[in-house]
A and B are shown apart, each in its own frame.
Chain A
Amino acid sequence: QKEVEQNSGPLSVPEGAIASLNCTYSDRVSQSFFWYRQYSGKSPELIMSIYSNGDKEDGRFTAQLNKASQYVSLLIRDSQPSDSATYLCAVKDDYKLSFGAGTTVTVRA
């Protein structure tokens, strides 16, 4: 089974700060990478996808991918209390998504 590892957390950041989440994966042939946000008791919601090396920005979110290092990260700028959730890293090869265990982020007001 492909392995996807995330920094264990929980991660506590003050409001307005940058939250940095990291993810490494074991399968070099993985082609697509996704970040999902999951609020407590709810289902995962897609927030970012990235396929090529480098940075991809969408609003306050930036995903970074380095395939040589098998590493993908998510930055949340200007963190808000509404960003408090668990963030799941998912790695896709063909049809299958493999998920990390998630990093729980708490934004302190």
Chain B
Amino acid sequence: DGGITQSPKYLFRKEGQNVTLSCEQNLNHDAMYWYRQDPGQGLRLIYYSQIVNDFQKGDIAEGYSVSREKKESFPLTVTSAQKNPTAFYLCASSTGNRVHQPQHFGDGTRLSIL
């Protein structure tokens, strides 16, 4: 089945540790996105990529890093510089940057601090 797979579903981070969240899609979508959702709030854009080997910062990129080495994959690293990482992380993809194309989401990863 075509879709967006995020792993793991739950992740715990220790102080000073970097952790990486996986996002893989088999929809042949060009664009991929990472969002963060805090309780009772909307989604905030962390990073996005419109093409392989290129990505841009979103509204809250500090403390995060990404790579886009393959079209199918867009992993997010939460670094130790992100002091408040506890949130629900959502990966999305869409067919390029054509304005009317919606974004579709994976099932998300819940990150907590140990």
Distance (whole angstroms) from the CB of A88 to the closest CB of chain B: 6
Q: Which residue of B lies closest to A95 (CB)?
A: B97
Distance (whole angstroms) from the CB of A93 to the closest CB of chain B: 7
Size category, B interface: 20 to 34
Q: Does B42 contact A (CB under 8 A)?
A: yes
Partner among A44, A46, A94 whose Cβ is within 8 Å of the Cβ of B99? A94
Q: Does A60 contact B (CB under 8 A)?
A: no
Q: Does the CB pair A42–B107 fall under 8 Å?
A: yes
Partner among B58, B102, B106 whose Cβ is within 8 Å of the Cβ of A34? B102
Could you mark each residue 15-42 of chain B with 1 if its beta carbon is under 8 Å from any beta carbon of chain A, else 0?
Answer: 0000000000000000101000000111
Q: Does the CB pair B107–A43 fall under 8 Å?
A: yes
Interface residues of B in 47-91 (CB under 8 A from A): 48, 50, 58-59, 90
Interface residues of A in 1-30 (CB under 8 A from B): 1, 4
A49 to B94, CA, bound (A): 14
Query: A1: which B residues are within 8 A, CB to CB?
Result: 59
Q: Does the CB pair A101–B108 fall under 8 Å?
A: no
Partner among B41, B43, B48 whose Cβ is within 8 Å of the Cβ of A95? B48
Chain B CB within 10 A, most for which of A31, A43, A96: A43
Q: Does the CB pair A44–B43 fall under 8 Å?
A: yes
Query: A95: which B residues are within 8 A, CB to CB?
Result: 31, 48, 50, 97
Q: Does the CB pair A97–B45 fall under 8 Å?
A: yes
Partner among A32, A43, A46 whose Cβ is within 8 Å of the Cβ of B90? A43
Q: Does the CB pair A99–B97 fall under 8 Å?
A: no
A65 to B43, CA, bound (A): 22
Distance (whole angstroms) from the CB of B10 to the closest CB of chain A: 11
Query: Chain B interface (Cβ within 8 Å of chain A)?
Result: 31, 33, 40-45, 48, 50, 58-59, 90, 97, 99-100, 102-108
